[in-house]
Amino acid sequence: MAFLELRYHNTCKLPSWKQKRAACLRCPLHRRMKITKPALLSCVEQNSVNERSLKEDSLDKRALRRKLTSSENFNRRGFSEEKEATQLMMNSEFSSSLLQEARKGKNEIRSGQVTVKLANSYGFCWGVERAVAMALETRKHFPNQRIWITNEIIHNPNVNARLAEMNVKFVPHKNFVRDFSGVSKDDVVILPAFGATLSEMQYLSNLGCQIVDTTCPWVSKVWNSVDKHKKANCTSVIHGKWNHEETIATASFSEKYIIVLNMEEAQYVCKYILHGGDRNEFLSKFRNAISPGFDPDLDLEAVGIANQTTMLKNETNAIAKLFEQTMLKKFGPQELSKHFIAFNTICDATQERQDAMLDLVEESLDLVLVVGGFNSSNTSHLQEIAETKGIPSYYIDGPERIGPNNRIVFRSSSSQKLIEKYNFLPQGPVKIGVTSGASTPDKIVEDVIERIFMIHKLYCNT
């Protein structure tokens, strides 16, 4: 983050450091000098700078977000005149007539000795569909302008590759540091479905470029709930991955926060609330997952629960319950409402896909295929459900992972590594459960199913 400040202010003629810092992203000197390479924003550390500049602006984060999103260069609706053509494109590129037919029936597809049983809910959620459609609309609406996306529009390699083919550029980043130096005020910047941080929004707004915000309303709902935590003087406990883009964005809107990955981390925090503990160990354990200046002895007196929308809903609910019981034990029922608040922010689409997967694994299946990008959080949680049930399950990101000699290359959720396996399809009749994450186009699932039929026919038809 120091890098951002240095790049901006070393050459700045404003007299004091304080003024330099206050001028940060709007420095007139830099505008005049047409310095176009000042902008490295760290996703993880930007909160500290952001918080300082926000205080100096005398605006709270909520007010600033509202101000930014209502500015003229900020578009949250897409381009209605492009919608029809975009829909045709979405249908031809990402949907599948095979799966549409299956949805009308029992979600089953048969070929030879193979029966594919699809989950009752899978694939593109409306938030992802909306984001992809808005990105395509943006390309059509600005045919000659340079277009950027601050990150992958969604966590799917095929969709992102298609956008890259359409000359939509991805803002480069390394080790959580995003480099905006290539973006100019004449460009268009798309914010992805899982949102962007407040300082990224602030930077781009000040740059003066066109911003197309595809943030899913469910994600914004979580941001609204952390606003409420702050209003109630609560620290936000965010159930999520500290290095996931959505959680990084949510944290950037929180005043005080701690991110817990799972029940084990939640139990650690709750034990500290009730019995205290080793402060240094606490701070070291959560060093990447707490707001700047977080003090576990002061900042856990009142908590509000928020979540990354794609976490396992049962785990989020259990973590919320644990914190509620902890506060109940510590402060008693009369005081509970002063020390604990929670709003339901689990996204419907995530919930539906997880519930459908829970139903699917109750069927008598020989194996399960989970299809989705390897960095898709909601897809990996679907895979966890299959693993918990003890059914042989394979997490793949596309049909090319399945090939000759009855071979599959899949991602192991325990080691996160790719594993190669031969003879993964059993001989003779087989029933395969198939699901896909919220960022996976049906077309990819169709291609996977067609590949399975072909491989089984060639190698397993006894």
Nearer to ligand SF4 among residue 296 and residue 441 (C-beta):
441
Q: Which stretch binds ligand SF4 (CB under 6 A): 27-35, 266-274, 344-352, 402-410?
A: 344-352
* Contact call for residues 278 and 269 (beta carbons, < 8 A): no
Q: How far is the CB of 189 from ligand SF4 (least distance, A)?
A: 19
User: How many other β-carbons are positioned within 10 Å of the β-carbon of residue 207?
Assistant: 22
The residues facing 411 across adjacent strands are 395, 418
Q: How far is the CB of 350 from ligand SF4 (least distance, A)?
A: 5
Where in 81-140 is the site for ligand SF4 (CB under 6 A)? Answer: 125-128
328 vs 334: CA distance, rounded Å: 9
Where in 390-449 is the site for ligand SF4 (CB under 6 A)? Answer: 438
Nearer to ligand SF4 among residue 138 and residue 250 (C-beta):
250
Mask for 213-242, x = binds ligand SF4 (CB under 6 A): ---x-xx-----------------------
455 vs 425: CA distance, rounded Å: 8
Q: Which residues of 389-398 are buried (b: 16+ CB within 10 A; e: fewer)?
A: bebebbbbbb
Structure tokens at 225: 């709930």
Q: How far is the CB of 214 from ligand SF4 (least distance, A)?
A: 9
Q: Which stretch binds ligand SF4 (CB under 6 A): 12-20, 248-256, 294-302, 347-355?
A: 347-355
51 is an active site residue: no
Q: Where are the beta strands (DSSP E) in 180-267?
A: 188-191, 210-213, 235-239, 257-260
Q: Which phi-psi region, left, alpha or beta, contains residue 433 (left: φ > 0; alpha: ψ -120 to 50)?
A: beta
183 vs 268: CA distance, rounded Å: 43
Q: How far is the CB of 348 from ligand SF4 (least distance, A)?
A: 7
Nearer to ligand SF4 among residue 53 and residue 350 (C-beta):
350
Residue from 171, 260, 347, 396 in contact with ligand SF4 (CB under 6 A)? 347
Return phi, psi of residue 294, to 5°: -60, 130
Mask for 349-368, x = binds ligand SF4 (CB under 6 A): xx------------------
Q: What is the DSSP string of 247-308?
A: HHHHHHH-SSEEEE-SHHHHHHHHHHHHH---HHHHHHHTTTSB-TT--TTTTTSSEEEEE-
Looking only at the bridges linking them, the beta strands covering 402-403 and 407-411 are antiparallel
Residue from 86, 309, 326, 440 in contact with ligand SF4 (CB under 6 A)? 309
Looking only at the bridges linking them, the beta strands covering 393-396 and 257-260 are unpaired
Q: How far is the CB of 340 from ligand SF4 (least distance, A)?
A: 24
Structure tokens at 67: 């101000």
Catalytic residue among 137, 245, 246, 265: 246
Nearest to 146 by CA among 185, 175, 191: 185
Nearer to ligand SF4 among residue 134 and residue 216 (C-beta):
216
Nearer to ligand SF4 among residue 205 and residue 310 (C-beta):
310
Structure tokens at 428: 């003779």
Q: How far is the CB of 248 from ligand SF4 (least distance, A)?
A: 15
- Judged by CB under 6 A, how many residues of this single chain contact ligand SF4? 15
Mask for 181-220, x = binds ligand SF4 (CB under 6 A): ------------x----------------------x-xx-
Contacts of 227 (CB under 8 A, 6+ apart): 61, 62, 253
Q: How far is the CB of 209 from ligand SF4 (least distance, A)?
A: 24
Nearer to ligand SF4 among residue 124 and residue 394 (C-beta):
124
314 vs 300: CA distance, rounded Å: 23
Structure tokens at 199: 């300082």
Mind telling me the catalytic residues?
Answer: 246
Judged by the rule CB under 6 A, the positions of this chain that interact with ligand SF4 are 125-128, 193, 216, 218-219, 309-310, 347, 349-350, 378, 438
